[in-house]
């Protein structure tokens, strides 16, 4: 039986309601929101509004119009970084960032923005005091991930947010690995910009994501065009969310995202976190029994997201993943996971790691089967890195 342990990339399977919602939007709604006053157009608009409000409820966002739909977290992060920063601005970030944030920041440096990197320790954790020290110089933005996609390390976002607010800096949080899996309250955590994909812990389809923009923050759009509103003007509308949603929204995917968010809300983020924590602890305990295996990230039983990376002495991570897939029908992720700086930080560059990421639908039995398979591989197959 096939076992899927790559939920940090895309969650699978989805709740059955997600598949049903996508089909309903395609078959029974079938049109674009905001592009007509007929009943189908109004139904599409209501569906999109419901999705916006469901996200607002989940992340304790007071105004759902401040949520902008994007095609993924990468687009949301690009909009936040490139739409906000101007030449002469200063950004504080960390050495644990995914390329979805690191590359827009790099592009910003070519446009005259200063980017300062605060190093994480070997477990991937950033000391909030070091962020505070970096903020001694006037800073426009603090930008970092909530949970590492390499190590599962959860950063002290609330502490960092309080420091940023005290210093007058905005905070952008990449919640790709935490949205739906770790409780997030944008107000309590002093988050000004929150970017997340829909296809991971929110259980929506690929091609969905969003950016929350706190009141008082003005961004330049990445793209302009038709919005279905203010059609007489040549300039892009100033009102949200239309200012950042040019063109036709992917209504069927947003319908699926609504169903996924509803599943998360009804199940409870805390319940999902407890289930995944138990699986991660079971996984780490099994890995510790294998002498060639070296765990990365937080110590076992310490807080982490549902991401476990490891290396095997004498074996290339890619070969381990290949054998798991071809001989045991188990899907994991190998390599650098689009985060080379994180691997330099924890000492696994350039080969990377084997990454295992259970999800809410993963079972104890599947974790046990994975452990058995890895024991077989490490006993019987050794190849030089």
List, by residue number, the catalytic residues: 338
Check if the beta carbon of residue 207 is closer than 8 Å to that of residue 201: no
367: CB partners within 8 A, 6+ apart: 279, 282, 283, 286, 358
Q: How far apart are CA 91 and CA 88, in angstroms?
A: 10
Any bridge partners for residue 92, and if so which?
116, 142
For 11, counting Cβ atoms within 10 Å of its Cβ (0-12 exposed, 13-18 middle, 19+ buried), the class is buried
Q: Which of 186, 180, 358 is nearest to 269 (CA)?
A: 180
Q: Which two tokens stand for residue 344?
A: 């330099």
């Amino acid at each position: 039986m096939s076992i899927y342990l790559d939920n940090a990339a895309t969650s699978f399977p989805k709740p059955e309601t997600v598949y049903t919602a996508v089909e309903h939007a395609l078959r029974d709604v079938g049109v674009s929101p905001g592009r007509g006053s007929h009943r189908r157009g109004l139904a599409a608009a209501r569906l999109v509004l419901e999705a916006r409000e469901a996200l607002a409820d989940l992340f304790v966002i007071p105004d759902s119009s401040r949520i902008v739909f994007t095609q993924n977290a990468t687009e949301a992060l690009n909009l936040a970084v490139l739409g906000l920063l101007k030449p002469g601005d200063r950004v504080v970030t960390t050495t644990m960032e995914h390329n979805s944030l690191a590359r827009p920041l790099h592009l910003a440096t070519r446009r005259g923005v200063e980017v300062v990197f605060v190093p994480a320790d070997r477990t991937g954790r950033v000391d909030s005091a070091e962020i505070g020290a970096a903020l001694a110089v006037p800073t426009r933005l603090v930008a970092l991930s909530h949970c590492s996609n390499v190590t599962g390390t959860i950063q002290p976002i609330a502490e960092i947010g309080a420091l940023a607010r005290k210093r007058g800096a905005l905070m952008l949080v990449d919640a790709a690995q935490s949205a739906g899996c770790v409780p997030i309250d944008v107000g309590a955590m002093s988050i000004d910009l929150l970017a997340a994909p829909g296809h991971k812990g929110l259980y929506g389809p690929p091609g969905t994501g969003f950016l929350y923009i706190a009141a008082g923050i003005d961004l330049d759009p990445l793209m302009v065009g038709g919005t279905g509103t203010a059609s007489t003007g040549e300039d892009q509308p100033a009102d949200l969310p239309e200012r950042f949603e040019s063109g036709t929204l992917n209504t069927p995917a947003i319908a699926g995202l609504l169903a996924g968010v509803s599943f998360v809300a009804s199940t409870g983020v805390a319940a999902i976190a407890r289930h995944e924590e138990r699986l991660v602890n079971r996984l780490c305990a099994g890995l510790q029994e294998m002498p060639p295996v070296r765990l990365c990230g937080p110590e076992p039983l310490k807080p982490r997201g549902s991401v476990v990376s490891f290396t095997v002495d004498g074996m290339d991570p890619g070969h381990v993943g290949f054998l798991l897939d071809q001989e045991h029908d188990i899907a994991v992720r190998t390599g650098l996971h689009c985060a080379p700086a994180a691997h330099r930080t924890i000492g696994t560059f350039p080969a990377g790691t084997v990454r295992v990421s259970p999800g809410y639908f993963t079972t104890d039995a599947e974790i046990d089967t994975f452990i058995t398979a890895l024991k077989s591989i490490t006993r019987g197959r050794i190849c030089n890195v």
